[in-house]
């Protein structure tokens, strides 16, 4: 199974395979690794990786390991495609910042016509740039993104109708 991990403004493929009690994984272009993972209570996992034991707690938009909170989102591209397909037929779509960061470029103007997949805004987080794209063709009816502005996760940057 291949999932997508979005963290710190970048996306990486996560390949997973279960073989008995062991999970084999590859994140991005890294070498394959193995881990034993067991859910000890809802949202809490015991992980043995490279002979070391870790407790991983799943939180909304993050995982906490050893007192460190790592903000990330894991999604199945097949589900993402299905969701974006449903959104494409709706009349209005808000382009939101998936993470806190800084707007480094605004690629459109209010009132401008856009195509599906066209870049709208570029947000930088932890020195990685993430281009946010229009899910469908339409018109930019609202544009609140400003170059140099700091944005919060979930903040609406543009509206496409």
pLDDT digits (tens, 9 = 90+) for 46-73: 999 989 999 999 888 888 998 888 888 8
Assigned domain for 85 exists: no
Burial class (CB in 10 A: 0-12, 13-18, 19+), 134: buried
DSSP H/E element including 129: strand 128-133
Domain that holds residue 100: 90-160
Q: How many domains does the chain fold into?
A: 2
First to last CA, the chain: 35
Residue 111 lies inside a defined structural domain of this protein: yes
Among the ranges given (45-54, 82-91, 105-114, 131-140), the one the predictor scored with the smallest mean pLDDT: 82-91
Could you say which of 75, 101, 117 is where a domain stops? 75
The CATH number of residue 118's host domain is: 2.40.50.100
* pLDDT per residue as tens digits for the range 92-109: 788 888 888 899 999 999
Question: Both 54 and 98 in a single domain?
Answer: no
* pTM for the structure as a whole: 0.47
């Amino acid at each position: 199974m291949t999932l997508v991990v979005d963290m710190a403004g970048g996306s990486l493929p996560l390949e997973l395979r279960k073989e008995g009690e062991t999970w084999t994984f590859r994140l991005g272009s890294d070498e394959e690794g193995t881990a034993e993972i067991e859910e000890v209570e809802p949202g809490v996992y015991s992980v043995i990786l490279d002979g070391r034991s870790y407790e991983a707690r799943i939180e909304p938009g993050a995982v906490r390991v050893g007192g460190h909170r790592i903000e990330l989102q894991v999604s199945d591209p097949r589900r993402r495609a299905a969701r974006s397909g449903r959104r494409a037929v709706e009349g209005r779509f808000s382009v939101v910042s998936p993470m806190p960061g800084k707007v480094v470029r605004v690629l459109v103007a209010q009132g401008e016509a856009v195509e599906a997949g066209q870049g709208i805004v570029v947000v930088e987080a932890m020195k990685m740039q993430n281009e946010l794209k229009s899910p469908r063709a339409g018109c930019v009816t609202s544009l609140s993104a400003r170059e140099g502005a700091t944005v919060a996760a979930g903040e609406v940057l543009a509206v496409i109708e």
